[in-house]
Structure 1
Amino acid sequence: MEPVLDHLLGRNTIKKGRYIKIGDKEVEYHPRFRLILHTKYFNPHYKPEVQAQCTLINFLVTREGLEDQLLAAVVAKERPDLETLKANLTKSQNEFKIKLKELEDSLLARLSAAGGEFLEDTALVENLETTKRTAIEIEEKVKEAKVTEAQINVARENYRPAAERASLLYFILSDLSKINPIYQFSLKAFSVVFEKAIQHSAPSDDIQQRVMNLTDEITYSVYTYTARGLFEADKLIFLAQVAFQVLTLKKEVNPVELDFLLRFPCKAGVTSPVDFLQHQGWGGIKVLSEMEEFKNLDNDIEGSAKRWKKFVESEVPEKEVFPKEWKSKTALQKLCMLRCMRPDRMTYAIRDFVEEKMGSKYVEGRSVELFKAYEESSPSTPLFFILSPGVDPLKDLEVLGKKLNFTIENGKIHNVSLGQGQEVVAERALETAALQGHWVILQVPSGR
């Protein structure tokens, strides 16, 4: 914390005449002044004196905490009766606690005020009996409520896989800012996508099938929503992260193998005994060979060099069948071997891996559907287009506008190119559009 803030944090004010002053320079201080400081540090540490002077609020959301929030949202949509019942139970249990506390306080007050023989105080005895009887009734109701709550929780748990998947996806989105600071996704926007995915998922009377439909729709909706805002070079990274973390959550991948694929540790100083493998690739093979699942891989490559050479030097090795018993390895294990042998083909291999595990719809090349983006917008959620040179979405917007009866000709589209002196024009257009429900296109010149 900057030393210049010490006077503010300590509220070191002095009164001079009618005014309140602060600091060495005696700056005038308004009694309603509020200071809010925010940090982006994941786990900040504050000195004890700062903790004593300030109110610290932790907005950090955890995977488990978000999962519980999203579970409540799913159940509220799918089984509103359950969520209402659970809310009522929580309320009634709190009321029971308050009632018991009031009875105890009342009894203690009467006992402390009573003098002499307690049994001669009729009101005290009656109050004691009432308290005892009410406490027994409340205890019975609490027992009943706990049984009902347990039944509700069992029913709610059926929907946990959907909430668990959604929570996982949100934290993948949060980490995208490490790739590029422009990738910022708010929990509020994510919640909108999440709720729309619930609405659009295929219905089913079978609860397990319904949860599977919910999980699949949530995953795909979040993917399409996110990929729309990513640069082309980063889309496969995001897709791979989704695939790997979903499979890890389902315990369908070996964490050690996944760690090898992502970090690619290799033995330094080793020389490749075959001409079709680089020294670094052979170093990776030696590390792999130390794992039980890849035992004798290095010896097999040396012993069957001709067969492995044909595989490694093929045009599309990710589509070829691995030699001998290695063809029966899992998809992730094959990726690990290919990572050592043909790192140049990993982009295609990862794409094939995602298609196998998640479905072909995740890897199909498709342009952004403007109408889909429009459906997700609202009067308070505008669309932003970050354009490459030569790209102009105006024609697509005009086509969409004609379908919805928004055109420049009928005055329902206001197109303003922002520049010097155009602020007034833009503000006037926004005011008109806000009142009459028009569209406003604000074009910002490059470099601004």
Structure 2
Amino acid sequence: LNDLGHIDPMYQFALDAYISLFNISLEKSKRSHKLEERIANLNNYHTYAVYKIVHIVCFVTEDWQENCNEWQENCNEFQKMLIVRSLRQDRVSFCVASFICKNLGSRFVEPPVLDMKAVCFESTCRTPLIFVLSPGVDPTGALLQLAESSGKSSQFHVLSLGQGQAPIAKRMITDGVKNGHWVFLANCHLSLSWMPELDKLVEQLQVEEPHPDFRLWLSSSPHPEFPITILQAGIKMTTEPPKGVKANMKRLYQLVTEAQFSHCSRPAFYRKLLFSLCFFHSILLERKKFLQLGWNIVYGFNDSDFEVSESLLSLYLDKYEEIPWDTLKYLIAGVNYGGHVTDDWDRRLLTTYINDYFCEAAVGDLFRVKGILNKEGYHSIFNLPATEHPEVFGQHPNADIASQIAETRTLFDTLLSLQPQVSSTGAGTSMTRGSREDRRCTHNAINLMKILFCFSSSIIKLQKGIKGVVVMSPHLEETFNCIYDVRVPPLWEKAYPSIKPLAAWTRDLCQRVAQFASWAGTTVPPTLIWLPGFTFPNSFLTAVLQSAARQHNFSPDKKGAKLLLPPNKTHMSNNINQPNMFPPVCPEDGVYIRGLYLEGAGWDKTNSCLVEAEPMQMVCPIPTIHFKPVERRKKMAKSESPDLPQTPVQTRNSLELKSGSAPADHWIKRGTALLLSLDS
């Protein structure tokens, strides 16, 4: 339990709290006159009690095919899990669940439902009850309902902490201790300067005699400066929203009162659009599980967004005979939910979803759901599976595999961070065209030289430190631990942005050096540029635009760029070590670039268009691209705009690709994007 504090600063457990839990297990576990049986009963009860008390505070960050080979008989569950981890990382979570079921029991993989009433009953007047907050969820409403059902609504006092609220909070606690009130101090992370005084107030509860009905409720986002003693003395609970579209829709319907449900003058339209709104909100929340294929930025969509949108539905349906689709879509997706969205590509995705769910088909006769015309009947319409298929989000099944692999890596990185570390201690020619690109090449080469110097010097110092020639500094010890864990040391990570593990990062560095060494050995610009090899690709592409502007006597502000697929059918491989298969002729304007990968789709080489990715194909190489400077023109009329998805890349440019047989919206939902770098 002590080690959990290394994972998150809010996971703190005191010895006194553990002893108290053990005493409860002694009292409640099944008794027996036989010592061995009594010990076994105590072990079973206490193990599950520890699991429950830990699970309610932990954030939630899920069969083997029959094989008669010899390894199946000789390997235990743990060894099988190691094999699966090496071959199929996306299946590790299922193996972990199987391992737990066979060794501890199935109840240890079935998360207990958080029952705040039971938690309150098991607590004492000296025990603070702490909500560890997650984005988009507020426990205040649930606490108000608990206070009403417990007959404490008139004695339940809520205060959101912030500047100038400390004296009020102290007075509320003092009055609550005397009169048996419930006191809820929300957002403690916004008043960290007052936390030491709150710590003293909690310590006083242990020596005073508070009123038996007094309860101190706290809420805070995870923060390392939150007092450890309060965390150790209290009962901690997380407030994450439920997982899955089905669970989220059930929760949203519970927010709609009977009065709201019956208030609208056009109930048939209202209830169908309410269903669409609940589905829309749930899809937005759950899409984040697909990581970079979901949203470029994780947004905190919350219940207030849903409540405001529900009010808009009722208002505009009552006010207009014809449903004002454009107005509703603008207010809901553009203003309400769109107020959270800061990324242009994410905004385009949000628009795609709202166009799908708020249209004439949503209120047509073909859309029929059993029980949709009465609130009680809504429970019968949720015959949805507990785990939804990626197609519900418009995603490819491969997207689910990518998220499961990321979950596995997080699991093992967390386990690895808890392991003890073992370390040693001791006492020329000018050219008109390409000159700007050459200068950018020089800048990148200088940057690479600095990286190599830092890389080699830290390795040499580390070798001396291991031998005892020099003293192991904290930086050297950190470098040693990272190499031991096969992670890129933070000192090296500062060189350039990368998400690669150590081996891939080292290989990538060698390829970068090889590219610029080859470029430095010639006075002629290379025909083909490996774009991911630049520390700052945007700077290089900007230099290309400036060179073209100077060549054609245009202002750089009037120059833009298009990313085109050259007509030639033979394209350069993305591997820098393979020979150049592209015609050795530089384009008149711009440069040929390679090294980009397509995510969320496959590529049809014959027809040069997007297709569905093959199973287990997370990314595929994209052909060589022509980065061509062009003069900025007025935006094409909407009717002239090609029905092609604009695929984002890290340089904030876009590439027009033929969408094949699927419409552009299909690839927008897929999260199709071009990547400059992979994580392997």
Structure possessing the higher radius of gyration over alpha carbons: 1
Band of TM-score, shorter chain: 0.3 to 0.5
Instruction: Point out the structure with the larger strand share.
Output: 2
Using the size of structure 1 for normalisation, the TM-score is 0.40
Instruction: Point out the structure with the larger helix share.
Output: 1
Larger RCO (CA within 8 A; separation ≥ 6): 2
